[in-house]
Amino acid sequence: MALELFNTLTGKVEPLFASDGKALRFYCCGPTVYDYGHIGNFRTFLHVDVLRRAIKLHDIGVHHVMNITDVDDKIIRNAAAAGKPIGEYSSKYERAFFEDMNALGCETPEDIARATEHIPEMVELIQRLAAEDIAYQTEDGSWYFRIARFPAYGQLSGKDLEGIQDGARIDSDEYEKDSARDFALWKSAKPGETSWDTAIGNGRPGWHIECSAMALRYLGDSFDLHAGGEDLMFPHHENEIAQSEACTHVQFARHWFHVRFLLVEGRKMSKSEGNFYTLRDLLLKGYRASAIRFLLLSVPYRQQLNFTFEGLAAETAAVDRLRTFQARVRDGKWLDTASDPELATIIRKSDEGFVAALANDLNTAEARAAIFDLLRAVNTSADQNKLTRADAEATLAVLAKFDSIFSVLEDHDAELTRAALAWAEAEGRMAEVAPEVLEAFGSSSLSDAAIDALVAERTLAKKQRNFARADAIRNELLEKGILLEDSKDGVRWKRK
């Protein structure tokens, strides 16, 4: 079954394939590292993560490139205010970004390209555009792209060049240019600013040129897919197409993938609204990284997600339900008889439905639904003592495939919350930690091995009918934020 994906450029759902027959080459616009990433940013990166995982599920190789914008106006202003060089300032937030990506279960791209490490490629691209008489230099030494010389401008976003009036700024720079429609390629140095002395003058790159230069450097003049948030479609991605194709004279990216941003409790997320959240904000409130990932992926990428705390609580319960189900099927003692034909059919159809949903424009909602259908059917069989070992193993294979995409079944939540607590303490932000998080994690120093030992001691105490000791151990663990779950398959524990 071919993987099909909506192409913003054509407005159609089209097959996604590796043009070289080896690996699907794609570029994703990464973060501008001037602050911590927020959940709107991470919704985009999570859907890109699911996309790369789905590509591999279809036995297609992946060559994924992501940029890091480590020089721009905000970084320069913030670094100056902090009294730090831009490299020292931005590196802190770059580290935090990758820590957050790891916490959310995102795979690492094959290439990570930092803007400040690719200045020569940007300069060369601007020189090539100047040779085409499309890039021009102003009196202050800045360079601009002359949009009027690129008739195809607007092909991605549908913007009409004639409708972009002078004065309707599409590039938020403060430099003189021939037309307000033109965008900056290179900004001349201002006193005290970070700059590079190059063949085109002393200055720094514009935002748009970096992505073109790095995409061409790592993926070639033409590649398979370009991804990013919907807010980047215009002008950023439109400008990437213009400056790249004006230089190479071939199609820049064949397929374009845009993820819609989210609302928070029905409103646009903003600091002024008081509904602006980073991943760390949520972890310090006691929410789990796995549930945040599951919620951000719960609605397909082309639909707007309304992020609510009620929804986050529901996703926490959903992840727990899936983990409990996996443990039950894995650890149970099932029948060694022949597979149940009816249940085997349900397992097979759930597997097929899961793969088909992902292949159909990355429909994460339908993919999840197929797995919960499986959960209900297999739990019913287990409750009736009818589940066979063959069907249990087939179920676990489907769950493994599910987790190769959604990556929520392994429980790392407690260690991630502890890492967030350590960060809050180092940054002097312990006042932001919810009391229940401090109660559950701040005073508990129990290692996993120590918990396992106490659970084993409790199990022995129950066998010896020493129920007072068994209850005391349960209460001791509960005070340390450890929950026990007794079932016919044994005792499982988890941290709050």
Candidate ranges 267-271, 480-484, 491-495; pick with highest mean pLDDT: 267-271
**What does the mean pLDDT of the chain come to?**
93
First to last CA, the chain: 41
Angle (nearest 5°) at CA 23 between 22 and 24: 135
**Contact of 32 with 75, CB cutoff 8 Å:** yes
Q: If pLDDT is split at 50, 70 and 90, which confidence band does 494 have?
A: confident
Q: Categorise residue 290: left if φ over 0, alpha if ψ from -120 to 50, beta otherwise.
A: alpha
Which pLDDT value is given to residue 456?
Answer: 85
Average pLDDT, stretch 276-290? 97
For residue range 1-34, what is the model confidence (pLDDT) as tens digits?
A: 799 999 999 999 999 999 999 999 999 999 999 9
CATH class of 267-406: mainly alpha
**Contact of 240 with 250, CB cutoff 8 Å:** no
Given a cut of 70, whether residue 164 has pLDDT beyond it is no
Average pLDDT, stretch 100-105? 98
Supply the DSSP string of 267-305, one letter for each residue.
EE--TTTT---BHHHHHHTT--HHHHHHHHTSS-TTS-E
Average pLDDT, stretch 219-239? 97
Residue with tokens 């601009």: 144
Angstrom distance (rounded) from CA 452 to CA 290 = 23
User: Domain limits of the chain?
Assistant: 16-259, 267-406, 444-496
Q: If pLDDT is split at 50, 70 and 90, which confidence band does 496 have?
A: low
Q: Classify strands 223-229 and 253-259 as parallel, antiparallel or unpaired.
A: parallel
**What angle do helix axes 86-103 and 73-82 make, rounded to 10 degrees?**
110
**Contact of 57 with 404, CB cutoff 8 Å:** yes
Average pLDDT, stretch 443-453? 67
Angstrom distance (rounded) from CA 320 to CA 286 = 15
Which pLDDT value is given to residue 169?
Answer: 35
Q: If pLDDT is split at 50, 70 and 90, which confidence band does 175 have?
A: very low
Q: Which one, of 346, 274, 261, lies nearest residue 307 by Cα?
A: 261
Q: If pLDDT is split at 50, 70 and 90, which confidence band does 172 have?
A: very low
Q: Which CATH architecture has domain 16-259?
A: 3-Layer(aba) Sandwich (3.40)
12 CA to centre of own chain: 24
Q: Which one, of 447, 470, 471, lies nearest residue 459 by Cα?
A: 470
Average pLDDT, stretch 283-295? 97
Q: If pLDDT is split at 50, 70 and 90, which confidence band does 402 have?
A: very high
Residue with tokens 């290439």: 111
Which pLDDT value is given to residue 156?
Answer: 97
The DSSP output letter for 34 is S
Tokens standing for residue 174? 């403060």
Question: Residue 450 carries which side chain, given as an amino acid letter?
Answer: A
Q: Which one, of 28, 33, 97, lies nearest residue 65 by Cα?
A: 28
Supply the DSSP string of 385-423, one letter for each residue.
T--BHHHHHHHHHHHHHHHHHH--SS--HHHHHHHHHHH
